[in-house]
Amino acid sequence: MKIQYIVIAVITAILSFAFINTQAQVAVEINKKEFKQGKNGYKDAMASIKYADAYYEMGQPGAYRMALNEYLKAYEYNQHYPELNYKIGACYLYSTEKEKAIDFLEKAYKAKPGVAEDIHYLLGWANQLTYNFDEAIELYRKYKIENPQSENDKKKDDEITHDVDKKIRECETGIELTANPIRVFIDNLGPTVNSKYPDYGPVITTDESLVIFTSRREGSTGDEMDPNDLLYYEDLYISYNDDDKGWSQAINMRALNTEGHDASVGLSPDGQILYTYKGVPDGTLFESKLDGDNWTKPKEMNKNINTKYHETSASISYDAKQLYFVSDREKDEFGNTSYGGKEIFVCEKQDNGKWGPAKNVGAPINTKYDEEGVFMHPDGVTMYFCSKRDGSMGGYDIFYSENDGAGNWSEPVNIGYPVNTPDDDVFFVVAGNARYAFYSSAREDGYGLQDLYRITFLGPEKMMVIGSEDILIASSTATIQQKVEQEVVEVKTVRLTIMKGTVTDALSEEPIAATIEIVDNEKNELITTLTSNSSTGKYLVSLPSGKNYGIAVKADGYLFYSENINIPASTAYQEVTKDIVLSKVGIGSKIVLKNIFFDYGKETLRETSFPELDRLVALLNSYPDMKIEIGGHTDNHGGLQFNTQLSEDRAKSVVTYLVEKGIDESRLTYKGYAYLQPIATNDTDEGRQQNRRVEFKVISIK
């Protein structure tokens, strides 16, 4: 049977994400006399079985793989022996090729229905994995009947019964989800990214400009294989997305990789902070930052995040104020007891820049079952995560939940089939537009055991939307390029604007490592601070809809640059490209104060102007010998006399504020220019908006 949509997250003992089924291992012996069917090859076959049994009894994923290799050698000698077919099928169920188990288990069952006491259970599982849900339910029920609870081992039997009951519920969910599939395209990222070896764990920037992932390909750091599974040690790789050429050849991130296992588990939306995982000693999270062209050495995260327990995936919020991560700790720092197994926690960033105490995010996100693979979308609202909770069609399924802004999470929703499968589906990341997502999958068109794929969500059939969009940046003299999603294909509507570009020197055009502050103008609150890349000047900020943003770009020796972006709550996803040019401090240099707001037709400053003016105060304090002129400008609506007076009064209001903040009045002059110095046409609303402005100009400096 062809399994077109089985998604297999690479889950190995090496990653320490050991997702082993709770079903107890059943002892099944291979009788030498019954197995023998001739002299030729018998001795070698029994030697293989001896080695295989030793691995099989370890009960670990890597050991099952080693056992499978030996059992298959023995299978070449005798393909009909039921106990051998049973063990091969069992090994496949604990591998990344689970779909191969059913043929061997059915062969064993037909030859000997009582081959093992758990044959109905394993056959049920194999049928569940191959979407034969009705057959699986019948087999699970047979297993329950044939294995009633015993008083002598009631705890163990309770666990088995609960597991079987849950698997029946998973099959019922599978019937429902496969009857109502979501519409998606699933595309392989191609041979420049994928290899013949396992490739998995993708993390992306919110604009999909790059992907970082984990690979076990040849050429890993140290070029050694792990003796547990005979695969190369995990290394981190990176590939860049070129709209014209596609994905670049993946490059080994040598500076971050060690001779052991290094796995990617999280990336900040702008791609400047990478979170990695190491399985030893206890399962630990590390952080690395992109400094120019180079990644800093991975630094172990603080004790509020890493504990004696097992910490795995991590995801940082769009404003870098929260870090969500997975841990199997028993309780959080606030005394909240965990529900059981692995759960999602969150830390808040403190004023000193360090992560504060971890808090369990609680219900309805966490359950008594395991949660894993947390990903916080840059819209600031949606959390994607993986869970074995009820509502899964088998193993881990991908769910999403939305925050109401007051800290309450909605009931998680299964993202649906064929993204979710009866197997484990973990480590799923979503682009800013929510139109695309990335994960690893084992598919017939793959280049290796696991490949990276890009999912395109198509939404309902025959959906047609005619949309338009407005230029969001007011008072801008520079060209703004916008990348617009013409077709609505999102699973959910995303209210998010991505603003990206470069910061460069006005004269040399060299990139600048500038500090970028994002302010909520209405609340006069700093949302986040980030830095443009020192080697490229690139920056990317995520701006959820429903706020009036003030953006200030600062660098030592330069006049600051400001921008105002008002994004109504109804604004759908958009990408805005804005290249920023900074001018060095010098006589005659000037900038427009774009976050200065007045009441209509009046000179009264609104409180939303204060953050911008405070930045000007800070600049003047940095240059105590600097003298400036504040210039007021209007559009051409109204007479010259009125506009001259209005522009002068507004400039004077700014000077008054600066004086009240301690700036010597002798350093300040003001003038109203009315509409005599336009920087754009007055024939359009956009042009008139740009012409209504307040500027400051450096008059003298020592």
User: With bands split at pLDDT 50, 70 and 90, how would you rate the model's confidence at 159?
Assistant: low
Q: Which one is predicted more confidently, 668 or 35?
A: 668
Tell me the pLDDT tens digit for each residue of 412-466: 999 999 999 999 888 899 999 999 999 988 777 789 888 999 999 987 765 444 4
Q: What is the full DSSP assignment across 224-275?
A: -EETTTTEEPPEEEEEEEETTTEEPPPEE-TTT--SS--EEEEE-TTS-EEE
Report yes or no: 650 and 603 within 8 Å, Cβ to Cβ: yes
> Is the pLDDT at 111 greater than 70, yes or no?
yes
- pLDDT of amino acid 22: 39
The residue among 395, 448, 68, 424 whose CA lies nearest residue 232 is 448
Tell me the pLDDT tens digit for each residue of 302-323: 999 999 999 999 999 999 999 9
- Could you tell me what percent of the chain has a pLDDT over 70? 90
The residue among 93, 94, 61 whose CA lies nearest residue 229 is 61
Nearest-10 Cα torsion for 376, 379, 382, 385: -30
Report yes or no: 194 and 446 within 8 Å, Cβ to Cβ: yes
User: With bands split at pLDDT 50, 70 and 90, how would you rate the model's confidence at 485?
Assistant: very low
Gap between the Cα atoms of 427 and 211, Å rounded: 13
User: With bands split at pLDDT 50, 70 and 90, how would you rate the model's confidence at 155?
Assistant: low
Tell me the pLDDT tens digit for each residue of 161-180: 678 999 999 999 999 999 99
- pLDDT of amino acid 16: 33
- pLDDT of amino acid 36: 84
Nearest 5°: the CA angle 585, 589, 590 is: 110
Tell me the pLDDT tens digit for each residue of 183-193: 999 999 999 99
Tell me the pLDDT tens digit for each residue of 3-30: 332 222 333 333 333 334 434 567 788 8
561 beta partners: 553
Mean pLDDT of 472-489: 39
> Is the pLDDT at 628 greater than 50, yes or no?
yes
User: With bands split at pLDDT 50, 70 and 90, how would you rate the model's confidence at 643?
Assistant: very high
Report yes or no: 533 and 205 within 8 Å, Cβ to Cβ: no
Report yes or no: 233 and 285 within 8 Å, Cβ to Cβ: no
Tell me the pLDDT tens digit for each residue of 242-299: 988 899 999 999 999 999 899 999 999 999 999 999 877 678 999 999 999 999 999 9
- pLDDT of amino acid 158: 52
> Is the pLDDT at 626 greater than 60, yes or no?
yes
- pLDDT of amino acid 160: 57
The mean pLDDT value of the chain amounts to 88
- pLDDT of amino acid 2: 33
β-pairing, 547-554 vs 515-520, is antiparallel
- pLDDT of amino acid 37: 84
Tell me the pLDDT tens digit for each residue of 192-250: 999 999 999 999 999 999 999 999 999 989 888 887 777 899 999 999 999 888 999 99
Domains of the chain in start order, with CATH, are 32-179 (1.25.40.10), 184-457 (2.120.10.30), 479-584 (2.60.40.2190), 587-702 (3.30.1330.60)
The residue among 318, 210, 186 whose CA lies nearest residue 264 is 210
Nearest 5°: the CA angle 255, 257, 262 is: 145
Tell me the pLDDT tens digit for each residue of 486-499: 333 345 678 999 99
Gap between the Cα atoms of 85 and 70, Å rounded: 13
- pLDDT of amino acid 3: 32
Residues 6+ apart with CB under 8 A from 453: 186, 187, 188, 189, 438, 439, 440, 441, 443
